[in-house]
Amino acid sequence: MRKLRSTVFALAALGMAPWSVAAQSQFGDADAQPAPFNPQMSALMNMLIQPRHAKLGLAGSADNWPLAAYALKELRQGFAVAARAVPRWKGLPVPDLFEAAVAQPMATLDAAIKLKYRRQFDEGYEHLTAGCNACHGTTDNAFIVIKAPEASAFPNQDFAPKQ
Partner 1 sequence: MKVRSVLGRITALAAIIGLVATTAWAGGSGFGDDDDNTQEDGPSYFGFVRDTNGVTVPDAKVTVSLKNRVNFVTRTDALGTYKVPGFGKEVDTNEVEVSCAKDGYRQIRATRRSSASTDPKIPIETECTLQHM
Residues that bind partner 1 (CB under 8 A): 6-7, 9-10, 13-14, 17, 20-21, 24, 28-29, 32, 35-44, 88-93, 96-97, 100-101, 130-131, 134-135, 137-138
Q: How far is the CB of 143 from partner 1 (least distance, A)?
A: 13
Cα-Cα end-to-end distance for the chain: 88
Buried b (16+ CB within 10 A) or exposed e, 84-114: eebeebeeeebeebbeebbeebbebbbebbe
| Comparison of 1 and 32: residue with beta carbon closer to partner 1 | 32
d(CA 92, CA 105) in angstroms, rounded, equals 21
**Rounded least distance, CB 162 to partner 1, Å:** 36
Euclidean distance between CA atoms 48 and 75, whole angstroms: 7
Residue nearer to partner 1 on the CB measure, 70 or 89: 89
Task: Work out the burial of residue 117: count CB atoms within 10 Å of its CB; fewer than 13 is exposed, 13-18 middle, 19 or more buried.
Answer: middle
Shortest distance, position 79 Cβ to partner 1, whole Å:
14
In terms of CB distance, is 91 or 155 closer to partner 1? 91
Residue placing its CB nearer to partner 1 in the complex, 6 or 157: 6
